[in-house]
Amino acid sequence: MKIEISEDNVADIEGALRWRTDNPGPKRISTYLEVAAFRDAVIRRLGQAQLNVDEVHGIKASYTPSGPGRYGGFIVQTDIQERPIDTTTLFIECDGSTWFLTNIKECVKFPFDDETFLIMLTPEQNQLVIDRSTSQFAVIGDAWPEPVEKPNDES
């Protein structure tokens, strides 16, 4: 599967989501807007990592919602039944400046499981992120100037 994530393909994306997840539920991804929101979140995180638009080719990402009783990293409901739920995992990929939905899988999440949000970089992209994020820092001792002592005025 490789469907471009764009408003022109809303029907194709939602059809693929329905085909893979025949029983909609509270934690199932079932609309184009949810897929587009995931893509936008990935783009935001790549921007925060200082990767430019022309440097994101080949990046892959996956997302699975949290388990029951958890929302946005917080436990929001403590009286739930302790049983797992079926949910959806999305896989997307960047090809140039275009993002594609490449796979949809059903999975199981247990109560209070965190969401899973993973961005996979190429080794070159990973090095760019490391270089750019550490360029503003120096190791103590390497670049820290030695203190200068005040000269004695005893002449």
pLDDT of residue 103: 94
- Does 73 have pLDDT greater than 90? no
d(CA 143, CA 50): 24
The residue-averaged pLDDT of 109-127 equals 89
Angle at 107 between CA 103 and CA 110, to 5 degrees: 150
CB 65 within 8 A of CB 117: no
- Does 72 have pLDDT greater than 60? no
pLDDT tens per residue, range 135-154: 777 666 655 566 677 777 66
DSSP label of 96: T
* Threshold 0.85, pTM exceeds: no
pLDDT higher at 31 or 71: 31
The residue-averaged pLDDT of 101-117 equals 87
Helix (H, G, I), strand (E, B) or coil at 150: coil
d(CA 106, CA 16): 12
pLDDT of residue 110: 82
Model confidence at 107, pLDDT cuts 50, 70, 90, reads confident
pLDDT of residue 12: 95
Model confidence at 66, pLDDT cuts 50, 70, 90, reads confident
pLDDT tens per residue, range 119-129: 999 999 999 99
Map out the domains of the chain as residue ranges. Answer: 3-127
The residue-averaged pLDDT of 47-60 equals 91
